[in-house]
């Protein structure tokens, strides 16, 4: 349980208390009460509340930390509700009862799910055996009537049999991770087997195959390696050059590793896409900026002035970005979040008041302190939303913070300016 999450949960309580404390402190300062007395009032107000919050936070942190540690050490995490002790605070007791009830319901659901899984596996096994019978009969009929067409049909039936066997295996497997059987096998034999499976595609598309010596033995799961390599080869067959199709297969031994390379002569990334990547505005800016930085080139005013004008557009553009983000925000939901107002109160009132009190303690009433007070009293910077949009993290929340602090600052900034002047 983090302190930030706890303070967010207590946001409305803190907002009310901070608002009352700041209002009363500002009133005392307005009456020219000595700053020492104001500090005593602030301490007398905040210390009991702070002590209560610390005790509550510590109690909850101990309980939830021990619960998380217990959860992390459990192999069967669904047993958590049966192992944790009942807490001695009301919200923890409610959560404990909910976990207990949901765990009991989960056990009942799992029993029903296992019953359905057993029925499903039995159905699949029955279906597989029923399907295999006509497949085997079809192959027997083909063997007695061999020609080019029936041979092609037999190959396709063999593929169907492989898929049916795969279905049967998965129906019997409770955990797909148990499907891996690691053993030593010849990579060359496996590659040649896969090529043999797809020989008709090589012939029909007139693909030239360049197969280098692949003689290494590797340790892995044979059937999954076969599946993966087969998919790669099918992709190469599909996308190799249409006029002169070529596929090159080779292996490279490196230390304890073996690298299998399957390369086709398809188009890959088109020239149009490469140009688009290399000539986008960001890359052009890098190409221009690096020589200027490295060689310390002085830019003529005729170029520097319009460049600065373009740079000055960042603020209005950032406001457009914020507007675009806000257009997708559910205001009713976001404005119910107490942490927004708590953040606005801290930014616009608590931080400047803290600087002002520190200045009073240090008996510093210079322009430096007044400037710092005003800096702290300014609304949240628009760049917060730009960064949030760039990295796609809490962009709606940051835009709301900028909006709310900007609107509230219309009331708080005149107060701070009039007080400091």
Helix (H) and strand (E) counts in the chain: 19, 5
pTM: 0.35
- Please report whether residue 308 resides in a domain: yes
Q: Between 227 and 276, whose confidence is greater?
A: 227
Cα-based distances in Å from 327 to 249, 341, 391: 53, 20, 19
Cα-based distances in Å from 217 to 55, 212, 262, 344, 363: 64, 15, 18, 65, 80
Q: What is the pLDDT of residue 391?
A: 67
Residue 255 backbone class (left: φ over 0; alpha: ψ -120 to 50; beta: rest): left
Per-residue confidence band for 260, with pLDDT thresholds at 50, 70 and 90: very high
Short-list 276, 214, 224, CA closest to 251: 214
- Counted domains in the chain: 2
Give the whole-angstrom CA distance, residue 178 versus residue 228.
18
Question: From the CA atom positions of the chain, what is the Rg in Å?
Answer: 36
Both tokens assigned to 109: 């659901």
- Please report whether residue 97 resides in a domain: no
- Please report whether residue 201 resides in a domain: yes
Listing DSSP states for 212-252 in one string gives -----EEEEEHHHHHHHHHHHHHHHHHHS-SSS-EEEEEEE
- Please report whether residue 362 resides in a domain: yes
Q: What is the pLDDT of residue 247?
A: 92
- Please report whether residue 385 resides in a domain: yes
Q: Is the pLDDT of residue 252 over 80?
A: yes
Domain coverage including residue 222: 180-268
Give residue-wise pLDDT tens across range 329-387.
777 777 777 778 888 888 888 888 888 888 888 777 788 888 888 888 888 877 777 77
Query: Residues 414, 338: one domain?
Result: yes
- 8 A C-beta contact, residue 151 and residue 141: no
- Please report whether residue 74 resides in a domain: no
- Please report whether residue 207 resides in a domain: yes
In this prediction, residues 198-205 reach a mean pLDDT of: 83
- The DSSP 8-state label assigned to residue 53 in this structure reads H
Per-residue confidence band for 213, with pLDDT thresholds at 50, 70 and 90: confident
């Amino acid at each position: 349980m983090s302190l930030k999450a706890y303070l967010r949960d207590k946001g409305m309580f803190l907002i009310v208390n901070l608002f009352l404390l700041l209002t009363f402190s500002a009133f005392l300062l307005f009456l020219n009460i000595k700053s020492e007395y104001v500090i005593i009032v602030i301490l007398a107000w905040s210390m009991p509340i702070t002590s209560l919050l610390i005790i509550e936070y510590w109690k909850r942190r101990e309980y939830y930390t021990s619960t998380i540690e217990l959860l992390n050490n459990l192999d069967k995490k669904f047993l958590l509700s049966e192992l944790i002790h009942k807490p001695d605070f009301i919200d923890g007791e409610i959560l404990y009862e909910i976990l207990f009830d949901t765990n009991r319901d989960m056990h009942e659901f799992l029993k029903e799910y296992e019953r359905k899984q057993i029925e499903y596996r039995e159905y699949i096994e029955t279906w597989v055996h029923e399907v295999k019978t006509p497949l085997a009969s079809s192959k027997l009929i083909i063997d007695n009537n061999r020609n080019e067409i029936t041979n092609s049909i037999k190959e396709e039936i063999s593929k169907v049999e492989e898929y049916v066997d795969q279905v049967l295996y998965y129906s019997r497997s409770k955990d797909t991770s148990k499907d891996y059987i690691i053993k030593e096998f010849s990579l060359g034999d496996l590659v040649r087997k896969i090529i043999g499976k797809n020989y008709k595609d090589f012939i029909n598309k007139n693909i030239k195959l360049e197969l280098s010596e692949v003689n290494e033995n590797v340790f892995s799961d044979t059937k999954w390696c076969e599946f993966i390599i087969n998919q790669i080869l099918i992709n190469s067959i599909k996308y190799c050059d249409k006029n002169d199709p070529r596929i090159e297969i080779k292996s490279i031994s490196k230390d304890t590793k073996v690298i299998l390379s399957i390369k086709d002569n398809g188009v890959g990334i088109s020239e149009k896409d490469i140009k688009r990547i290399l000539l986008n505005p960001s890359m052009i800016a890098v190409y221009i900026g690096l020589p200027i930085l490295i060689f310390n080139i002085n830019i003529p005013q005729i170029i520097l002035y319009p460049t600065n004008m373009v740079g000055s557009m960042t603020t209005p553009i950032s406001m457009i970005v914020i507007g675009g983000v806000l257009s997708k925000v559910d205001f009713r939901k976001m404005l119910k979040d107490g942490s927004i107002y708590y953040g606005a109160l801290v930014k616009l009132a608590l931080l400047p008041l803290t600087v002002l009190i520190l200045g009073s303690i240090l008996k510093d009433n210079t322009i430096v302190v007044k400037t710092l007070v005003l800096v702290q009293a300014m609304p949240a910077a628009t760049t917060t939303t730009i960064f949030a949009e760039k990295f796609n993290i809490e962009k709606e929340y940051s835009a709301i913070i900028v909006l709310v602090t900007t609107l509230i600052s219309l009331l708080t900034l005149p107060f701070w300016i009039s007080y400091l002047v």
